[in-house]
């Protein structure tokens, strides 16, 4: 980020730090930005730039090539996360240096990806919660972007895996209320990754409620995400969705024909997306079903 563009514009307009930040942030926040490269939240930075008659993008013009490269790399990692290729994501993130990611949206994406993948591979919670807190309490402190919802989601998954149900439910309820207010028809007109992130929110929320035996809500969410997948011609989540639907069908004692159909569809999509994890889970569930009703399906 070229902070000199910001400072020179402020001085050209003969605005003191006190006048510029009035009603937006403290002078200390602005001073840390101008003097120590301490970037404020996207909301604050956007308001400051608007008062100067410039955009946040203008501060990044000299770094367009770097930003474009980082965007491609992070987007690729986000797509691989959806196919459960966690080792690839971990390796890709390890090659990136967060201090060199100056774009606020990209930095939030980096913290989200690192937090969520570390959650999914059961790493220690301290760094995970810190990554999510960087989004919630710093970069998107007014909770205006979908990255806040993804940070809520990751926190919910973490607590669920630690069997702390009250804390997990607290975060998943936040996500569920966000999804309830979502206009599905508008999902198609958002920025490139928006619909993929919405799918992530819905899938893991559906899985959480299924794990807690609320199959009605879980199935409603599965139906919603299948609709979005159809609209967007997205197949990343279809193997996992069909498998989740099959698990729900088993738990609800639905017909064997329906269960087999859902598992066949899950397997077809898993092979299409090269998702070996789901292929293995399908094989395990079928073995459990053949072994008899005493076996419980893997979650």
Specify whether 185 is located in the same domain as 119: yes
Residue 273 covered by a domain: no
Here the tokens at position 27 are 């002078």
231, 23, 1: which is closest to 100 by C-alpha? 1
Looking at the fold, whether 110 and 88 belong to one and the same domain comes out as yes
In this structure, are 81 and 142 located in the same domain?
Answer: yes
Same-domain pairing of 43 and 79: no
Higher pLDDT, 288 or 193: 288
Same domain, 189 and 41: no
Mean pLDDT of 123-143: 92
- On whether both 82 and 38 belong to a single domain, the answer is no
Greatest distance between any 2 Cα atoms in the chain: 79
- Coil, helix or strand at residue 54: coil
Residue 13 phi/psi, 5-degree rounding, is -85, 0
252-286 pLDDT, tens digit per residue, is 999 999 999 999 999 999 998 888 889 999 999 99
- Cα(27)–Cα(176) distance, integer angstroms: 37
- 69 shares a domain with 187: yes
Assess whether 100 and 207 both reside in one domain: yes
* Residue 212 banded pLDDT, cuts 50, 70, 90: very high
Residue 254 lies in a domain: no
CB 117 within 8 A of CB 82: no
Q: Residue 81, exposed/middle/buried by CB under 10 A (0-12, 13-18, 19+)? A: buried
pLDDT of residue 61: 67
Beta-carbon neighbour count of residue 193 at 10 Å? 17
On whether the CB atoms of residues 100 and 1 are closer than 8 A, the answer is no
Give residue 101's pLDDT: 86
CA distance 152 to 148: 6
Please tell me whether residues 50 and 68 are part of one structural domain. Answer: no
Distance CA 154, CA 126 (A): 13
| pLDDT for the residue 237 | 87
Which of 228, 247, 265 finishes a domain? 228
Domain that holds residue 38: 3-54
DSSP 133-188: HHIIIIITTT--SHHHHHHHHHHHHHHHHTT-HHHHHHHHHHHHHHHHT--GGGGG
Question: Would you say residue 87 lies in a domain?
Answer: yes
Distance CA 235, CA 285 (A): 22
Angle between helix 256-272 and helix 238-251 axes, rounded to 10 deg: 160
pLDDT in tens, 155-194: 999 999 999 999 999 999 999 999 999 887 777 655 668 8
Residue 157 lies in a domain: yes
pTM of the model: 0.73
* Weakest-pLDDT range from 118-132, 223-237, 275-289: 223-237
Q: Is residue 116 part of a domain?
A: yes
Query: End of a domain among 175, 205, 228?
Result: 228
User: Residues 74, 168: one domain?
Assistant: yes
> What per-residue confidence (pLDDT) applies to 189?
55
Which residues, including other chains, have CB under 8 Å from residue 204's CB and lie 6 or more apart?
A: 153, 156, 157
pLDDT of residue 38: 87
CATH number at residue 42: 1.10.260.40
pLDDT of residue 214: 95
Q: Based on the structure, what is the number of domains in the chain?
A: 2
Within a domain: residue 167? yes
| Last residue of one domain, picked from the residues 228, 261, 294 | 228
Query: What is the pLDDT at residue 196?
Result: 87
Same-domain status, 118 and 202: yes
- CA 171 to CA 166: how far, in whole Å? 9
pLDDT at 141 over 90: no
Give the tens place of pLDDT for each residue, 48-78.
999 999 988 888 766 666 778 888 999 999 9
Q: What's the pLDDT score for residue 187?
A: 74
208, part of any domain: yes
Question: What CA dihedral angle connects 299, 120, 245 and 293, to 10 degrees?
Answer: -10
- Angle between helix 238-251 and helix 215-232 axes, rounded to 10 deg: 160
Nearest-angstrom CA–CA distance, 113 and 118: 8
Say which residues have a Cβ less than 8 Å from residue 170's Cβ, sequence separation at least 6. Answer: 156
Residue 54: name the closest of 13, 18, 24 by CA: 13
What are the pLDDT digits (tens) for 70-105? 889 999 999 899 888 999 999 999 999 887 788 889
Question: Does one domain contain both 32 and 172?
Answer: no
Is the pLDDT higher at 192 or at 232?
Answer: 232
In a domain, 294, yes or no: no
**Total Cβ atoms within 10 A of residue 171:** 23
- Whether residue 119 contacts residue 161, with contact meaning beta carbons closer than 8 Å, is answered with yes
């Amino acid at each position: 980020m070229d902070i000199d563009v910001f400072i020179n514009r402020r001085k050209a307009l003969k605005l003191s730090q006190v006048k510029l930040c009035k009603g937006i942030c403290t002078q200390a926040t602005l001073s840390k930005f101008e003097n120590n490269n301490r970037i404020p939240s996207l909301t604050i930075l956007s308001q400051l730039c608007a008062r100067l008659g410039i955009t946040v993008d203008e501060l990044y013009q000299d770094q367009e090539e770097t930003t474009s490269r980082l965007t491609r790399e992070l987007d690729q990692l986000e797509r691989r996360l959806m196919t459960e290729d966690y080792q690839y994501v971990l390796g890709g993130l390890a090659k990136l240096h967060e201090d060199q990611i100056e774009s606020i949206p990209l930095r939030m994406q980096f913290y989200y990806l690192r937090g969520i993948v570390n959650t999914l591979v059961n790493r220690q919670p301290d760094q995970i919660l810190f990554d999510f807190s960087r989004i919630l309490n710093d970069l998107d402190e007014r909770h205006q972007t979908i990255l806040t919802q993804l940070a809520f989601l990751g926190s919910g998954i973490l607590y669920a895996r630690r069997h702390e149900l009250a804390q997990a439910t607290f975060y998943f309820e936040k996500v569920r209320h966000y999804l309830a207010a979502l206009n599905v028809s508008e999902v198609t007109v958002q920025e490139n990754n928006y619909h993929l992130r919405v799918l992530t929110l819905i899938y893991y929320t559906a899985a959480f409620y299924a794990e807690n035996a609320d199959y009605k809500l879980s199935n409603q969410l599965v139906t919603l995400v299948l609709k979005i997948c159809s609209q967007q011609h997205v197949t990343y989540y279809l193997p996992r969705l069909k498998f989740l639907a099959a698990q729900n069908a088993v738990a609800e004692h639905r017909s064997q024909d329906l269960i087999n159909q859902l598992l066949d569809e899950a397997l077809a999509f898993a092979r299409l997306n090269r998702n070996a994890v789901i292929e293995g889970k399908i094989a395990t569930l079928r073995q459990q079903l053949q072994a008899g009703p005493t076996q419980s399906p893997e979650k």
